[in-house]
Amino acid sequence: MSAALDDLKQRLAEVYDLEKAAAIAGWDQRTMMPPQGAAARSEVSATLSGIAHERFVADDVGRLLDELAPLEAELDFDSDEASLIRVTRRDWEKARRVPPELAADWAREGGRAHVAWLEAREANDFSVFRPALQRVHDVALRWAELMEPGDSPYDAFLDEYEPGMKTAEVKAVFDVLRPELTAIVREAGEPADDSFLEGDFPLERQQEFLEGVLRAFGFEDGTYRLDPTVHPFATTFSRSDIRMTTRYKPTNLRALWAGMHEAGHGLTYQGTGPELARSPLYGNASLGLGESQSRTWENLVGRSLPFWRGRLPELQRLFPQLESIDLDAWYRGINRVAPGLIRVDSDEVTYSLHIILRFELEQELVAGSLSLDDLPEAWNAKMKELLGVDVPDDARGVLQDVHWTRAAYGYFPTYALGNVLSVQIWRAVEEELPDLDAQLEAGEFEPLYRSLRDRIYRHGRKFTPRETLERAIGATEIDPQPYLAYLRSKVAGLQPA
């Protein structure tokens, strides 16, 4: 089509390869590497990421993008070629704003803060973390000043994960959720019994069950792995090499949902159009959209009544102690609503409240209206206000998440946006697939996967989150109402008969 375009594609493919080599080093670190390998591995990762970054921000890439501007103007906006040029330009201009010294400072201070955070958790004392947090926080604010000025200082952070989205948009959604979610928690009343999820659950049987679920979800043979880890994640090196992880414990069944969550991420990677391979267009349009799909397969499928109507007998065959649990008790237990201290253990209703808390605190930290000294107290006060719980100590409070060790502000809100988007998208799929419930019960996930793939996954990173949503379901705004209606009806259905 054009020599400049071929040249650009070739350069971007090399950058992709380098980034994926770094990703393989990262996957290995979190699944297989012996702990003593950490120091050597961080050198490997830093070198590979550094070379990838250097190649990407090169002047030559900018020259090629300039050269390609007239071609881009002639091409259809939705074409792969126009999208490649457009997205690369946006990524390139952002990456060029960050001097290598600042990127190095951020990586170094983030690493130090991570070490301090581990110590602080051990000591159960925020003040051990605070000085290192201050340093990485200051680097992050320096970085934000180099970004395009937004309407709010928080916009720069948000844009890293939700390209083009403004703080005000997120705030508008969360302002609707905040009072409604607290009301739904109240409606939920006494938490259901879920004690049957604890007990003796041999790992091989958990694995067997989960592998069966993944095959049924539609993963193609020979294209993926599911491995144990400490903090579950999913990554991908190509659409035919997808790595998912979960955290198995022989004493409970929670790995099943962590596994289905990561499988949702994995399906978005598998469903990306093959023509986007080895380019910056491979992946998700945003963290929120990616998370909407992990939540879809974890919750809308994996905590639904039809899914378990079909699959509970198999689970009971693997774990005979569950034979006395009937479907209704099982469904109530796995959907138990109970305000708690820890985000990653929280249920579908309270989860987003944990996120709103972090979003509100982060904005104040970025704006400078809240000092790090006052952070634990502010955290505890908001936990009381939003979830009605008293925080007994820092480890179960302000120190529970790893995200702030990198001062990764703007990351948390994407989790709640994912919850909201998952149901908004699901409504459109339900209209398209009137037999969806029967299919979930029968273990036929192909129609669901195909619908989501065609609506969302195949586009990869071609469009902004908003543009992707428009192509997926014809909406341009994030609408919290379907999510709230879903939760209300679910909570109503959980009441014992």
Residue at shortest CB range from Zn ion: 294
If the CB atoms of residues 294 and 299 are measured against Zn ion, the closer one turns out to be: 294
Cα separation of 206 and 202, whole Å?
Answer: 7
Q: Which stretch binds Zn ion (CB under 5 A): 23-31, 154-162, 278-286, 293-301?
A: 293-301
If the CB atoms of residues 259 and 376 are measured against Zn ion, the closer one turns out to be: 259
Cα separation of 418 and 397, whole Å?
Answer: 23
Strand pairing category for 241-246 and 234-238: antiparallel
Q: Decide if 262 contacts 232 (C-beta within 8 A).
A: yes
Cβ 189 to Zn ion shortest distance, Å? 29
Cβ 294 to Zn ion shortest distance, Å? 4
If the CB atoms of residues 295 and 462 are measured against Zn ion, the closer one turns out to be: 295
Strand pairing category for 241-246 and 224-228: parallel
If the CB atoms of residues 244 and 473 are measured against Zn ion, the closer one turns out to be: 244
Q: What's the token pair of residue 236?
A: 């991908």
Cα separation of 222 and 225, whole Å?
Answer: 8
Q: Decide if 125 contacts 394 (C-beta within 8 A).
A: yes
Contacting residues for 44 by C-beta, under 8 A, at least 6 apart: 22, 25
Contacting residues for 79 by C-beta, under 8 A, at least 6 apart: none
If the CB atoms of residues 271 and 310 are measured against Zn ion, the closer one turns out to be: 271
Cβ 295 to Zn ion shortest distance, Å? 8
- Across the beta sheet with 241-246, the strand order is 224-228, 241-246, 234-238
* Secondary structure of residue 234 in the 3-state scheme: strand
Cβ 435 to Zn ion shortest distance, Å? 28
Cβ 418 to Zn ion shortest distance, Å? 7
Does residue 122 have an active-site annotation? Answer: no
Measured torsion, CA atoms of residues 270, 275, 279, 281, in degrees rounded to the nearest 10: -70
Strand partners, 198: 252
Measured torsion, CA atoms of residues 247, 250, 255, 256, in degrees rounded to the nearest 10: 150
Cβ 291 to Zn ion shortest distance, Å? 5
Strand partners, 353: none
Q: Which stretch binds Zn ion (CB under 5 A): 101-109, 286-294, 364-372, 425-433?
A: 286-294
Residue 206 binds to Zn ion (criterion: CB under 5 A): no
Dihedral of alpha carbons 256, 478, 87, 404, sign = negative
Cβ 116 to Zn ion shortest distance, Å? 26
Q: Which stretch binds Zn ion (CB under 5 A): 72-80, 221-229, 289-297, 429-437?
A: 289-297
If the CB atoms of residues 167 and 235 are measured against Zn ion, the closer one turns out to be: 235
Cβ 261 to Zn ion shortest distance, Å? 6
Residues within window 129-168 making contact with Zn ion, judged by CB under 5 A: none
Question: How many Cβ atoms sit within 10 Å of the Cβ of residue 342?
Answer: 11
Q: Decide if 491 contacts 337 (C-beta within 8 A).
A: yes
Q: Which of 109, 262, 348, 360 is catalytic?
A: 262
Q: Which stretch binds Zn ion (CB under 5 A): 90-98, 245-253, 291-299, 373-381?
A: 291-299
Angle at 309 between CA 305 and CA 315, to 5 degrees: 115
Q: Decide if 232 contacts 247 (C-beta within 8 A).
A: yes
If the CB atoms of residues 84 and 256 are measured against Zn ion, the closer one turns out to be: 256
Among residues 301, 309, 197, 318, the alpha carbon closest in space to that of 255 is found at 197
Continuous segment of H or E residues that includes residue 236 = strand 234-238
If the CB atoms of residues 294 and 352 are measured against Zn ion, the closer one turns out to be: 294
Applying CB under 5 A, among 294, 350, 451, 464 the residue interacting with Zn ion is 294
Cα separation of 184 and 492, whole Å?
Answer: 9
Q: Residue numbers of the site for Zn ion (CB under 5 A)?
A: 294
Q: Annotated catalytic sites, by residue? A: 262
